[in-house]
């Protein structure tokens, strides 16, 4: 059994998910703050995040980002508009887990001095060849100079990081006083995750930690962040999401999928404090000024 990185309590075994992947996933849960972790993880991130992962060929990978960039840009630009209301460009922008750097490129066009950080040699090399300022490395103290970032984004990345404490220490060091962090991950306090239990689709071999509004707030406060704001499901409107989803569509009848997407988006607004109807969340927090 492992110790919870958010609060130090020993975690109890919760699920063994045996039927969905090549090897069973053993999930543990902290009884104190609800943080869950993948106890069966044993992988080298460099092996996991190679070409197969990014091109949709690995067992549990994403689709090839590069094929859908023009659709994804709708969401990236909508997000940048919201971020700009908190920290306006020009400012130092770092996208952690940037993959090929599509979001970094948009942030640069939006007026930020944009850089990206990723563990994947394969993805970073591809982005650099397109002229982007991408750094290969892990989010841990010393990866970049202290106080060199005004906006740090981590979109569906935190759950992949093997050492949450090192990641939060690095965020504290990197982000200037008054700077902004933007974190998107699933909320395991959401009714969606709680009802689905071990069949929840977010349990994946590459997802090492599972957060919630409660324990994410604990971690952010512990590492020098405040003015924490949660958006459910996301900080931008439905239209950008619908436009992005067209990247998956192959035929006219696929537009029918807009209805469940819209329904999910609206239901996600049923959220108050740590209650949430769905499990989508985006968190904005500011670095303390002392």
What is the contact surface with Zn ion in residues (CB under 5 A)? Answer: 4, 6-7, 9, 30, 32-33, 35
Beta carbon of residue 158, minimum distance to Zn ion (angstroms, whole number): 15
Angle between helices 164-174 and 213-222 (to 10 degrees): 50
Query: Reduced to 3 states, what is the DSSP secondary structure of residue 79?
Result: helix
Residue 231, number of CB atoms within 10 A of its CB: 18
Give exposure, 33-67, as e/b (b: 16+ Cβ within 10 Å). bbbbbbbbbeeeeeebbbeebbbeebeebeeebbe
Beta carbon of residue 6, minimum distance to Zn ion (angstroms, whole number): 4
Q: Residue 76 or 211: which CB sits closer to Zn ion?
A: 211
Q: Residue 58 or 165: which CB sits closer to Zn ion?
A: 165
Q: Residue 158 or 234: which CB sits closer to Zn ion?
A: 158
Q: Residue 114 or 218: which CB sits closer to Zn ion?
A: 218
CB 146 within 8 A of CB 256: no
Question: What are the structure tokens assigned to 29, written together?
Answer: 């849960």
Q: Is 8 exposed, middle or buried (0-12, 13-18, 19+ CB in 10 A)?
A: exposed
Q: Cα Rg for the chain, rounded, in angstroms?
A: 18
Beta carbon of residue 5, minimum distance to Zn ion (angstroms, whole number): 8
Beta carbon of residue 189, minimum distance to Zn ion (angstroms, whole number): 13
Which residues neighbour 174 within 8 Å (Cβ) at sequence distance 6 or greater?
94, 143, 144, 146, 147, 148, 149, 152
Q: Residue 9 or 16: which CB sits closer to Zn ion?
A: 9
Q: Residue 35 or 87: which CB sits closer to Zn ion?
A: 35
Q: Residue 32 or 55: which CB sits closer to Zn ion?
A: 32
Beta carbon of residue 33, minimum distance to Zn ion (angstroms, whole number): 3
Query: Reduced to 3 states, what is the DSSP secondary structure of residue 128?
Result: helix
CA angle 212, 282, 78 (to 5 degrees): 170
Beta carbon of residue 32, minimum distance to Zn ion (angstroms, whole number): 5
Beta carbon of residue 214, minimum distance to Zn ion (angstroms, whole number): 9
Point out which residues pair with 3 in neighbouring strands: 10
């Amino acid at each position: 059994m492992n110790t919870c990185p958010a609060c130090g309590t020993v975690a109890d075994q919760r699920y063994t998910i045996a039927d969905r992947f090549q090897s069973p996933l053993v999930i543990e849960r902290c009884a104190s703050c609800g943080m869950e972790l993948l106890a069966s993880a044993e992988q080298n991130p460099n092996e996991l995040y190679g070409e197969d992962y990014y091109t949709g060929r690995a067992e549990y990978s994403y689709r090839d980002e590069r094929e859908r960039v023009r659709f994804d840009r709708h969401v990236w630009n909508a997000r940048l508009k919201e971020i700009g209301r908190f920290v306006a460009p020009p400012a130092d922008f770092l996208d952690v887990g940037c993959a090929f750097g599509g979001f970094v490129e948009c942030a640069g066009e939006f007026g930020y001095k944009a850089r990206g950080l990723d563990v994947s040699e394969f993805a970073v090399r591809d982005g650099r060849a397109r002229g982007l300022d991408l750094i290969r490395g892990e989010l841990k103290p010393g990866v970049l100079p202290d106080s060199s970032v005004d906006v740090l984004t981590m979109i569906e990345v935190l759950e992949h990081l093997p050492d949450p404490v090192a990641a939060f220490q690095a965020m504290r060091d990197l982000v200037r006083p008054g700077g902004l962090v933007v974190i998107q991950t699933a909320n395991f306090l959401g009714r969606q995750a709680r009802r689905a239990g071990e069949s929840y689709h977010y349990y994946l071999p590459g997802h090492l930690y599972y957060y919630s509004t409660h324990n994410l707030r604990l971690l952010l406060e512990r590492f020098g962040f405040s003015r924490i704001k949660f958006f459910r499901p996301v900080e931008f409107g439905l239209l950008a999401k619908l436009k992005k989803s067209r990247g998956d569509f192959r035929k006219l009848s696929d537009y029918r999928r807009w209805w469940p997407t819209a329904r999910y988006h609206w239901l996600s607004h049923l959220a108050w404090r740590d209650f949430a109807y769905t499990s989508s969340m985006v968190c904005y927090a500011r670095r303390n000024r002392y």
